[in-house]
Amino acid sequence: MSTLTHFDAQGQAHMVDVAAKPATHRVAVATGRIEMQPATLALIESGNAKKGDVLGIARIASIQAAKKTSDLIPLCHPLALTRVAVAFALAEGGQAPQVACTATVETVGPTGVEMEALTAVQVALLTIYDMCKAVDRGMRITDVHVLEKHGGKSGSYVATAG
């Protein structure tokens, strides 16, 4: 098992030095979902929520969050992102009506973008909650995780189903 990279030999937290790492094309994809009442999903689908276009605003919030990840997570490096794409899928089946969010983040640099993809998903889902909480305080954000990442020394990771 490898060691935690954000701690030095004395156990103190530090920002990992990536100066010697080569710049490579890096991609991370994360996903998550927010469960809600059927009427809330219908309101989002119709585009008639009191605060406006829920998914359009959540998409912009998600992109902004990816760009601000290093301001939120103390030991993340600030990165020049080359792409942030955010997609939503609405579903009425399963355990509960829900909106799923998938964020794909890319850069060319010495460190990965998993944290940026995870942050993008979380903020998109939080924005949906914020915009719809007046009609559904019981919404539940769940299953946020990295689906895949590519690039860098450690290579590719693809989550297994289940």
Q: What is the DSSP letter of 97?
A: -
Among 8, 17, 130, 143, the one annotated catalytic: 130
Would you call 53 a catalytic residue per the annotation? Answer: no
**In this structure, what token pair is assigned to residue 76?**
């993340």
Q: What is the amino acid identity at position 55?
A: L
User: What does each C-alpha distance from 138 to 36, 69, 127, 153 come to in angstroms?
Assistant: 7, 27, 15, 42
Say how many C-beta atoms besides its own lie within 10 A of residue 159's C-beta. 13
- Residues assigned a catalytic role: 130
